[in-house]
Amino acid sequence: MSNKFLVVDCESSYNMILGRPWIHGMGAIPSTLHQMVKFPTPWGIRTIIGDQEYSRSCYQNTLKGKTKVL
């Protein structure tokens, strides 16, 4: 499966967004609870595992300075 990735230079609370067409096309099984994606390859099932601590740190850094004082 061929896929195009778009790299955007902006602040975001996400470091990657996987679209439904990619997930379905790859036969992937995403789990937000476990922060992982499993997908089949010619060499067996592969797993991409997220890092909760790093994700939280990135999210907090993105939100810094964005709160408004009322």
Residues 15-52 pLDDT 10s:
566 777 778 888 888 887 788 889 898 999 989 888 87
Residue 58 domain-assigned (yes or no): yes
Q: What is the number of domains present in the chain? A: 1
Q: Establish if 53 belongs to a structural domain.
A: yes
Assess if residue 4 is contained within a domain: no
With beta carbons less than 8 A apart as the criterion, state whether 58 and 65 touch: no
Query: Which pLDDT value is given to residue 45?
Result: 92
| Residue 37: Cβ within 10 Å count | 20
CA distances from 24 to 2, 15, 38, 47 (A): 13, 20, 12, 16
The mean of the pLDDT values for the chain is 76
- What is the value of pTM for the model shown? 0.51
Cα 66 to chain center, whole Å? 22
Within a domain: 41 = yes
Domain extent, residue 43, equals 20-63
Q: Domain for residue 59, yes or no?
A: yes
pLDDT tens profile 57-66: 877 877 776 6
